Homo-oligomer: A and B are copies of this chain.
Amino acid sequence: VSVTEKQLVRLVRQKLDLAGATGRALIGPGDDAACLPAVVNRVLLFTVDVQTEGVHFDQRWTPPFLIGARSLLVSISDVFAMGGRPNYCLCSLGVPQTTTAETVDEFYDGLILQAKRFGVGVVGGNFALSQRFSATVAVLGTAPGTRTVARSGARPGDAIYVTGTLGGAAAALRSLKQGRLGRTEVEALCEALRQGEATGKPTPNDPVLSLLARFFLPQLRSDEAVWLAGERIPTAMIDISDGIASDLRHICEASGVGAVVEVDKVPLFDTMPQDISLGQQELTMLALAGGEDYELLFTVGPERSGKLVGDFQRRGFCRITRIGRIVDQSQGVVFTDTSGRKLSGLDGFDHMAEQGLGEAGQ
């Protein structure tokens, strides 16, 4: 690559700033979704994401049904990460000449199932010939008044939280790439998902299916995100698509702060199938840098942090874990062990995250 994506993203963001090209947007490029001023106490959230064959999935082991499901989920995830709710989407499909009607049919089955589950109207789209299968999903959402959560509000002293567990999605992806899991298991996930259509969730009892679901069907923390934003609890929030190492850096850059993460506190995916022998260190690495989990990463000021875990439990929300704290920008973004010793050799995080997926939002 003659230029890194990071450079391209920065270049475009600067150009848009300089040209004043983001119109009246309240939040333009640089956050999970663009935040647009609107009428009657509601702002619009407008975002786009793309999934490409060979980059985000491999058709050898990914049925179109799951490509469709995942394309929708990762796109609307950005709206939830702002504290809004997705309302509509458009899907632009790049299709190779060899694409069959069945493929498109199954793709939309998966997309529609998830769209209905989250109340998202699929309101249009198009097709274009393409060498590789790709799905670009644009999403329009809303949030009440000023209740959106940007990446830019974190302040020194804030606690850093994550929802759920991390590393499962990247472990699933690695297992597929290494051939330890394959089309057979993925088809079983499809089948389970089709059977559990009402909830949109597969039966969670099979550990292999649960692992695969972590990648193909990211468990969006929709109610949690909307509640957090409604209560104005997070100072910054993002969904973890690239891994904590990379996504926390996005928050820190946008907020002009640093961060200290206690690696041992990071909640790891804990129902790994026995066949998938994965060392604790490897899983930690995947949790930090593997990405694809689409859990929420958010920061909370000291005055709101105290009873947050209790609040989540009381409401039947997912598990949350405090993994570190925001510090002054001069301290950078640091990963430590329990004794507070700075861990070295973790500089590869970003690089790994960049290699893993050739994509980055502006």
Contacts and interface: CB of A to CB of B under 8 A. Distances in A.
A97 interface: yes
Interface residues of A, number: 78
Residue picked from A42, A90, A115, most chain B C-beta under 10 Å: A90
A101 B11 contact: yes
Contacts of A362: 124-126
Nearest to A107: B12
A132 B7 CA distance: 20
Contacts of A124: 28-29, 31, 33-34, 46-48, 361-362
Contacts of A1: 97
Copies of this chain per assembly: 2
Interface string A91-107: 01011011111001100
A359 interface: yes
A23 B121 contact: yes
B108 A29 contact: no
Contact of A127 (B44, B125, B359): B359
A138 B104 contact: no
Interface string A111-133: 01001100111111111111110
A11 B360 CA distance: 32
A101 B3 contact: yes
Interface string A290-308: 0000000000000000000
A362 B89 CA distance: 13
Contacts of A109: 15
Interface of A: 1-3, 5, 7-9, 11-12, 15-16, 19-25, 28-29, 31, 33-34, 36, 38-40, 42, 44, 46-50, 52, 55-56, 87-88, 90, 92, 94-95, 97-101, 104-105, 108-109, 112, 115-116, 119-132, 134, 136, 138, 140, 358-362
